[in-house]
């Protein structure tokens, strides 16, 4: 292996198991790359090299003794800094929690530890997973490795930046209105928001109790399926966790799409919110490719995108304010100004607004389930345009809501974003694939078929 920065999780796992790749040397190589590049990217809030090397040595020793814990054994990973890791601060990128310290692992962190993963550190986020790339916080915002002057997406911004820059092969993010899929869109990655209840949220700082999801972020579809398989499963510590067997999410990824029925929610990005022409063309080109691979494509009409996003906004604002009410009253000046602006509208929503939003949500779920009765997946836009500049707050405020991710937080179904190429300016383009509840496997199957037929997973930013 001459370049460990962009080896896939799956390939690294196979090499480690065959004793052809040392977890210690792999970890050292990535730590050296982080030391060299991260001052320009700001992907990490806290790097833990001593812990990483100790876990890598333990993983290597276990392999030497004939042990193997699974495909994550000896694989470096990062955690978005709203996910607890015992003994470390969970800051949520905020002054308010700068002195916090986790008493126990979040359930997902515990699962990664048991799987033999090598914990590298905490990645940057937008403040409390709702702010934007802010410059009035104790730590700088993460930057986009494809162009440092541009926004990497959020709120799982550091996880996305670290993956795109080749600092990590795997990371976790969270997704309330698209915060795993947004950095996936902006950084040419694969990001999955699993079905609601599929992955435990115990030990994760909440933003919206009924919209929050924890999801895997990787550079390839196979890697994403592997990582979801490690973190999924019922957890009694999370009352929303579902008792559902954990599937082998990667089992069907090589089967292609011949005969699969794909619906296109075209009106989301051509009428309800008009996408950038390059983004729209990339999605249409992807659909043509899938059709050429044997998929059956037909257009689907759902309620307007604006109805879904309004429903998401009311629920998120109401539940987010409930989470932050005490701090907003006692420490308002310790929030970044953008975070305050996004949280405070929840103070002015009425109980009836929230109730009506939840009633609308039930109708939208029914509509979606009816549409999916004779379909395998849906395809639509993720972001409506490539990333804007990180130092232009007006552009960020305008472009951030230009997306079609929030509907699938409302619906709770699995939704995955993956790259579809690059704009003329060299910035990532993307699309979104959506499945039935608990059918992540079919989403991965379609995504992998597209990925295998295109060169995007082997295209990386030139940082060296």
What residues act catalytically? 80, 155, 179
Residues β-bridged to residue 170? 218
Classify residue 46 as left (phi > 0), alpha (psi -120 to 50) or beta: beta
Signed CA dihedral, 105, 107, 111, 112: sign only: negative
Query: What values do phi and psi take at 64, rounded to 5?
Result: -60, -30
Rounded Cα–Cα distance for residues 98 and 382 (Å): 32
Closest CA to 257 of 437, 417, 445: 445
Structure tokens at 218: 């990787």
Would you say 129 and 176 are in contact if contact means Cβ atoms under 8 Å apart? yes
Would you say 60 and 24 are in contact if contact means Cβ atoms under 8 Å apart? yes
Residues β-bridged to residue 118? 76
Q: CB under 8 Å to 243, separation ≥6 — which residues?
A: 234
* DSSP-derived secondary structure letter, 269: I
Signed CA dihedral, 6, 12, 13, 16: sign only: negative
Would you say 434 and 408 are in contact if contact means Cβ atoms under 8 Å apart? yes
Structure tokens at 193: 């928001």
Q: CB under 8 Å to 20, separation ≥6 — which residues?
A: none
Closest CA to 81 of 128, 40, 39: 128
Would you say 444 and 221 are in contact if contact means Cβ atoms under 8 Å apart? yes
Q: CB under 8 Å to 354, separation ≥6 — which residues?
A: 314, 315, 318
Rounded Cα–Cα distance for residues 116 and 70 (Å): 8
Rounded Cα–Cα distance for residues 42 and 263 (Å): 39
**End-to-end Cα separation, the chain, in angstroms:** 18
């Amino acid at each position: 292996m001459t370049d460990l920065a962009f080896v896939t999780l799956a390939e690294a796992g196979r090499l480690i198991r065959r004793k052809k790749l040392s977890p210690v040397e792999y970890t050292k190589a990535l730590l050296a790359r982080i030391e060299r590049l991260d001052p320009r990217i700001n992907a990490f809030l806290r790097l833990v090299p001593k812990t990483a090397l100790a876990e890598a040595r333990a993983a290597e020793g276990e392999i030497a003794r004939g042990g193997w814990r699974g495909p994550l054994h000896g694989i470096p990973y990062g955690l978005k800094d709203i996910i607890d890791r015992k003994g470390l601060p969970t800051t949520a990128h905020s002054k308010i929690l700068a002195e916090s310290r986790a008493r126990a692992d979040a359930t997902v962190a515990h699962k990664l530890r048991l799987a033999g993963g090598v914990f590298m550190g905490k990645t940057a986020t937008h403040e409390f997973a709702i702010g934007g790339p802010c410059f009035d916080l104790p730590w700088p915002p993460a930057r986009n490795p494809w162009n440092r002057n541009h926004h990497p997406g959020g709120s799982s911004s550091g996880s996305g930046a670290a993956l795109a820059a080749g600092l990590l092969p795997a990371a976790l993010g969270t997704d309330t209105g698209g915060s795993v899929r947004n950095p996936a869109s902006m950084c040419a990655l694969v990001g999955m928001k699993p079905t609601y209840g599929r992955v435990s949220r115990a030990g994760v700082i909440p933003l919206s109790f009924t919209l929050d999801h924890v999801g895997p972020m990787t550079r390839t579809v196979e890697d994403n399926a592997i990582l979801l398989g490690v973190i999924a499963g019922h957890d009694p510590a999370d009352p929303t966790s579902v008792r559902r067997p954990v599937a082998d999410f990667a089992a069907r990824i090589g089967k292609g799409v011949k005969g699969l029925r794909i619906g296109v929610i075209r009106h989301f990005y051509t009428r309800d919110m008009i996408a950038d022409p390059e983004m729209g063309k990339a999605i249409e080109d992807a659909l043509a490719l899938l059709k050429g691979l044997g998929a059956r494509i037909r257009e689907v009409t759902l309620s307007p995108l604006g109805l879904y996003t309004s429903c998401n906004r009311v629920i998120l604002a109401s539940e987010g304010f409930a989470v932050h009410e005490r701090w907003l009253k006692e420490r308002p000046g310790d929030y970044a100004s953008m975070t305050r602006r996004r949280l405070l509208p929840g103070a002015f929503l009425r109980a009836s607004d929230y109730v009506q939003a939840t009633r609308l949500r039930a109708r939208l779920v029914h509509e979606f389930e009816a549409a999916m009765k004779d379909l395998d997946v849906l395809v639509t836009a993720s972001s409506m345009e490539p990333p804007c500049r990180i130092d232009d707050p007006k552009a960020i405020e305008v472009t951030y809501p230009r997306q079609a991710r929030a509907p699938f937080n409302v619906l709770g179904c699995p939704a995955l974003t993956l790259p579809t190429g690059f704009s003329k300016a060299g910035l990532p383009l993307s699309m979104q694939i959506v499945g039935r509840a608990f059918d992540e496997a079919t989403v991965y199957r379609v995504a992998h078929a597209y990925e295998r037929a295109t060169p995007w997973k082997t295209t990386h930013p030139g940082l060296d």
